[in-house]
Amino acid sequence: MTTTLTPLRLPPQHTDSGDRLQQYPPPDRWDDWVEWDNRQWPKKVPRHYMLVPTVCFNCESACGLLGWVDKETMQVRKFEGNPQHPGSRGRNCAKGPATINQVNDPDRILYPLKRAGKRGEGKWVRVTWDEALKDIGGRIRKAFVEGRHNEVMYHVGRPGHDGVMEWILPAWGVDGHNSHTNICSSGARAGYAFWMGFDRPSPDHANANVILLISSHLETGHYFNPHAQRIMEGKMAGAKLIVFDTRLSNTASMADTWIAPWPGSEAAILLAIANDLIATGRYNREFVRRWVNWEEYLKSQDPNPKPPITFEQFEEALKQQYARYTFEFAAQESGVEARVLKDIAEAVANCGGKLATHNWRSAGSGNLGGWQVARCLFFLNVLTGSVGVEGGTSANGWDKWVPRPHKMAPHVKRWNELTWPREYPLAYFEMSFLLPHFLKEGRGRLEVYFTRVYNPMWTNPDGFTWLEALQDEAKIGLHVALTPTWSETAWWADYVLPMGHGSERHDLMSQETHAGQWIAFRQPVLRAALERTGRKVSRTYEANPGQVWEETEFWIDLSWEIDPDGSLGIRQYFESPYHPGERITVDEYYGWMFENSVPGLPEAAAKEGLTPLQYMRRYGAFEIRQGALAEYDRMLSSEEMAGAQMEEVTGILYTKAPMTPPKNIVPTPAPVTKDLGRPVGVMIDGRPKFGFRTPSRRLEFFSTTLRDFGWPEYATPEYIPSHVHPSRVHREAGEFVLLSTYRLPTLIHTRSANAKWLVEISHSNPTWVHTSDAERLGVMTGDLVRVETEIGYFVDKVWVTEGIRPGVIACSHHLGRWRLAEGEGTNRIASALVDLREDHGEWRLRQLRGVQPYKSSDPDTERIWWTDAGVHQNLTFPVQPDPISGMHCWHQIVRVTRAQPGDKYGDVYVDTKKSHEVYRRWLSMTRPPTGEWRRPNWMLRPFRPDVSAYRLADSR
Binding residues for ligand SF4, rule: CB under 6 A, are 56, 58-59, 61-63, 88, 92-93, 95-96, 224-225
Identity of the residue, 93 or 834, whose beta carbon is nearer to ligand SF4 in the bound complex = 93
Rounded least distance, CB 77 to ligand SF4, Å: 18
The amino acid at residue 485 is T
Size (the chain), residues: 956
* Cis amide bond preceding 42, omega within 30: yes
DSSP helix/strand/coil, 325:
coil
Residue 48 CB burial class (10 angstroms; 0-12, 13-18, ≥19) = middle
The dihedral through the CA atoms of 261, 262, 266, 270 has a sign that is: negative
Degrees to nearest 5, angle at CA 157 with 411 and 103 = 125
Residues with Cβ within 8 Å of 672's Cβ and at least 6 positions away in sequence, in order, are 679, 695, 937, 938
Closest contact distance (angstroms) between CB of 58 and ligand SF4 is: 4
- For residue 163, the minimal CB distance to ligand SF4 (Å) is 18
Q: Are 819 and 804 in contact (CB under 8 A)?
A: no
229 vs 597, which CB is nearer to ligand SF4? 229
CB of 525 to ligand SF4, least distance (A): 15
Which lies closer to ligand SF4 via its Cβ, residue 136 or residue 748? 748
CB nearer ligand SF4, residue 326 or residue 396 = 396
Choose between 235 and 522: whose C-beta lies nearer to ligand SF4. Answer: 522
Return the amino acid letter for 689: K
Q: Nearer Cβ to ligand SF4, position 59 or 613?
A: 59
- 272, 325 in Cβ contact below 8 A? yes
- Closest to ligand SF4 by CB, 60 or 390: 60
Amino acid type, 247:
R
Question: Within 10 A of 720 (CB to CB), how many other CB atoms are there?
Answer: 20
DSSP string for residues in 629-696: --GGGPBPPHHHHTT-EE-TTT-EEEE-SPPPPPSB----PPP--BTTBEEEEEEETTEEE---SSTT
> What's the sign of the alpha-carbon dihedral 935, 938, 942, 946?
positive
CB of 835 to ligand SF4, least distance (A): 34
User: Min. distance of Cβ 60 from ligand SF4 in angstroms?
Assistant: 7
Min. distance of Cβ 91 from ligand SF4 in angstroms? 8
Q: What is the amino acid identity at position 576?
A: S
Residue 85 CB, shortest distance to ligand SF4, in Å, is: 10
Kindly give the interhelix angle for 129-145 and 551-562, rounded to the nearest 10 degrees.
50
Query: Based on CB atoms, which residue is closest to ligand SF4, 151 or 512?
Result: 512
Residue closer to ligand SF4, measured from CB, 223 or 401 = 223
CA–CA separation, 916 and 912 (whole Å): 6
Q: How far is the CB of 182 from ligand SF4 (least distance, A)?
A: 22
Q: Rounded to 5, what percent of the chain is helix, strand, coil?
A: 30, 20, 50
Closest distance of CB 86 from ligand SF4, Å: 13
Query: What's the alpha-carbon Rg for the chain, to the nearest Å?
Result: 28
94 or 836: CB nearest ligand SF4 = 94
CA nearest neighbour of 271 among 804, 704, 693, 721: 721
Q: Please give the Cα distance from 640 to 682 (Å, whole number).
A: 12
Closest approach of Cβ 815 to ligand SF4, in Å? 17
Q: Which is nearer to ligand SF4, 24 or 129 (CB)?
A: 24
> Shortest gap between Cβ of 64 and ligand SF4 (angstroms)?
8
CB of 280 to ligand SF4, least distance (A): 40
Task: Pick between residue 93 and residue 593 the one whose CB is nearest to ligand SF4.
Answer: 93
Q: Alpha-carbon distance 731 to 721, whole Å? A: 18
Residue closer to ligand SF4 (CB basis): 57 or 198: 57
Q: For residue 172, give the nearest of 452, 438, 559 by alpha carbon.
A: 559
Residue 835, burial from CB neighbour count under 10 angstroms (0-12, 13-18, 19+): exposed
